[in-house]
Structure 1
Amino acid sequence: MSLLLLGLLLLLSGAAANFHEGDFVPSARRAQFGGSRTHWHDLLGRHCPRFGEDHVVAIPLPEPKGFMTADRYKIQFTFDGDRLVTPWLKLMGKGAPNPPIVHIFLKRRGEVLKKAKAEVHQVSQAYLYAHHQLLDEFRNATHWPKHLLVQYSWQAEQEVDALSGLYVVFAICLLAFLVTAVSTLLSYEAKLKAFMADIAGEDFTASGSSAAAAAVKGD
C-alpha cells in the first residue's frame, strides 16, 4: 500500500506543475517591529522572482507606523500563494547587518517550485559600488521608504518522470506478490506432500481390505 501511495504522489506532483521558464512567482511580504506585525502585502511583478532566473531586485519598504529607530525590524516572505514561507529575517536593530541584503534560494523540479530558503548577509563591496545611493538611504535611520536588495538564486533538482515511476512501483508490487506466493507454496510443500501421502495410504489400505474380504468369502 505504501508503494502504491508513493506512486500516486509522484503522479500528482507531476500534475501540479504550473510554472514556465521566466514566469513571475506570486510573492508577498510582511514586517515585524515593536511587538507588532503587519498584514501580508503582495509584491509587484518586478519585485517577484522569475521562475528559473537568477536576478537582484530592490524592494521598497514603506515607513512603518509607530516604528522607533531602536526597534528591531524583521521581514518575512511567502511564495506561490503562501505555500512556501521563509523564517523571519532581521534587517534593522542590534545584530543586523548594515546595510543588509537578503539571499533567497529557490529550488525547482521541472516546472514545480519545491522549496524556498532565505538568509540575511552584509552587502558585498560589489553591491556597495553598484547601489551605493540605495544603501546610503538604508543606513539613514530617518529616510523612508528604504530599498531592500533581494537576490534570487535558483537550483534545479533532477526531474522525476511520474509515469515511469508509477510503472516501476507497479512492477515492484507485482514482483513482491510473486515472491510472497512462491514462498507460501514452498512453506506448505511438505505439508501438502504429507497430506497426499496420507490420502494415498488410506486408499491403498481400503483397497487391500476389500480384496482380502473377497478372498475369504470365496474360500
Structure 2
Amino acid sequence: MTINGSDAVIKVDHVSRWFGNVVSVSDVTFDIRPGITGLLGPNGAGKTTLLRMITGLAEVSDGSITVFGESVRNNSDLYRRIGVMSEHETVYQFMKGREFVKMMARLKGVADIDMAADRAIGLVDLADASLRPMGTYSRGMRQRMRLAATLVHEPEILILDEPLNGADPRQRVYFQSLLKRLAAEGRTIVISSHILEEVERIAETVLLIVNGKLAASGDFHAIRAALDERPYHVRLLSDSPRELASALV
C-alpha cells in the first residue's frame, strides 16, 4: 500500500520545524488520502508538532503543507473544514456535555447549534449523559464527548492526537468502531499514537515517526518489517549481577 497519489487531501513536502537549535521535525514528506492514517512513534518523536503544523496551529520552519491544495496557515475557511482533538483535555468539569458541544458549535459558526449538538452527541452515543456535568464522566466518556465537539461542524478532516489515552478496553473498542464508521463516510482521519497494536486495529496506512523523521510508511507489513530492522536496547537490573551474568552466558 502506498500513501502517495493524486487524490491526496493533505500534502506534506520536505517539512521541518525547529526551535532555536532544537530540531523537532526534520525534512518530512508524505501525502494523506481519505480514510484512516495512523501517525505512529514514541513520545517526543515529533508527532504532535507535525499535527500542529498540519492544522495551522504551528508555523513551518521549512518546506510546505497544503490541505485541499491550499496553505492552512491563517486560512479561516480551511479551518472550518478541519476538526482537531488535542492530546490534552480542554473541558470544564462543571460544564454539562451538551453545553460543551454547543459552545464549540458557536465557536465554529454553526447555524443551527441545537440540531448540530444533538447530531454530534448522537454519533458518539452519549445522549443519555449529555445533561450531566463532564466532571462526572469517565475518561473514556469525556474523550467521546470531546470527539462530539470536534464533529459538531461536520468537518471533512479529523486530526486526533492520542485520543485513546486513558480509555478502558471497552471504550477503546467503541472508539475504534466509531472512527471506522466516520472514515467510511469519506472523511480523512489522522490519529496519532505511540502504541503499534492500537494503530494496527484501526488505521489503513501508517506513518512511522522517529526522532522527528519519517522512518517508514505504508501498511503494517512494511511498518513491522521496518521495526524489526531497528536495533533493540535491553537493560537488565538485578540485585545479584554475578548470578544474572552466569544465567545469561
Q: Which TM-score bucket, shorter chain as reference?
A: under 0.3
Greater Cα radius of gyration, structure 1 or 2: 1
Identify which of structures 1 and 2 has the higher relative contact order when contacts are C-alpha pairs closer than 8 Å and 6+ apart. Answer: 2
What's the TM-score, normalizing by structure 1?
Answer: 0.25
Higher strand share: 1
